Amino acid sequence: MKDVKSFLDPLVEQYNQKDFILDDPIGIPHRYTLKQDIEITAFWTAILAWGQRKTIINKATELFSRMGNTPYDFILNHQDHDLKQFESFKHRTFQADDTLYFIDFLKRHYSKFDSLEDAFIDSNSTSVESGLNYFRNYFFEIQTHFKRTEKHISAPFKKSTCKRLNMFLRWMVRKDNCGVDFGIWEKIHSKDLMIPLDVHVERMARQLGLLKRKQRDWQAVVELTNNLRKLDPKDPVKYDFALFGFGVTQK
């Protein structure tokens, strides 16, 4: 573990830099200053984050431009006729009906809460796993969506790695002085975050002996995160920068 830590720590410093923002989807919420705008754009960008990063950035830019680049104001104050423009928006399997349900959910949520963080708080548990399970049930509590929409919101009880949601939580929760992650949430703590497990992170983790489980599922996320906590118990997912960044470079 000491050898792994001495290898990964410099990589965290190398990739956890503002220059990282330029070509990464996290650059989308960095265009905004209002807390709710940051939350909405970060959440939605993370959900759209599959495929080439350039394409993800372009599609997220297109989506929020249709909201006048004021997503929080649009979510709360749009009229029915404003929604017609989203009938032509899609990204891979994310279709117009999915977009409309997301808008409806966010309006319902922000009509009751000031922050999206409350959507991830399970009153019966402080764990991120419970929070993710709670969020999925909360997100779909109104049965007005197409069944297809459910595949866009993952959950541990579905045995998913929840890669996109864990990435979103990292963006919102982690606090440091490097200017990449926002650290604007207070109820969820960095020590409790779970690693966003994608193919690059998985490959590097296996090469370093941090991940043994064969399946790519929630238990693999738990195993890897627990090993990363041995390297830094207060901030285990900072190693996402190292594993992802070096994994992409190595590829």
19-71 pLDDT tens trace:
988 889 999 999 999 999 999 999 999 999 988 889 999 999 999 999 999 99
45: Cβ–Cβ under 8 A, 6 or more apart, which residues? 25, 26, 28, 29, 56, 60
Which residues sit opposite 151 in a β-bridge? none
Average pLDDT over residues 153-173: 98
Q: Tell me the backbone φ, ψ of residue 91, rounded to 5 degrees.
A: -145, 110
Average pLDDT over residues 129-151: 91
147 has a pLDDT exceeding 90: no
**Tens digit of pLDDT for each residue in 205-223?**
999 999 999 999 999 999 9
Average pLDDT over residues 7-12: 96
Q: Residue 162 — pLDDT band, cuts 50, 70, 90? A: very high
Residues present in the chain in total? 251
Say whether 91 sits in a helix, a strand or coil: strand
- Angstrom distances, CA of residue 69 to CA of 62, 84, 193: 9, 17, 29
Q: What distance in Å separates the CA atoms of residue 91 and residue 101, rounded to the nearest whole number?
A: 15
pTM recorded for the entire structure? 0.96
Q: What percent of the chain has pLDDT over 90?
A: 88
Q: Residue 148 — pLDDT band, cuts 50, 70, 90? A: confident
**Tens digit of pLDDT for each residue in 65-110?**
999 999 999 999 999 999 999 999 999 899 999 999 999 999 999 9
- pLDDT for the residue 251: 58
Average pLDDT over residues 155-175: 97
Q: What distance in Å separates the CA atoms of residue 188 and residue 172, rounded to the nearest whole number?
A: 9
Q: Around 122, how many Cα atoms within 13 Å sit in the side-chain half-sphere?
A: 14
- pLDDT for the residue 127: 96
Average pLDDT over residues 142-165: 92
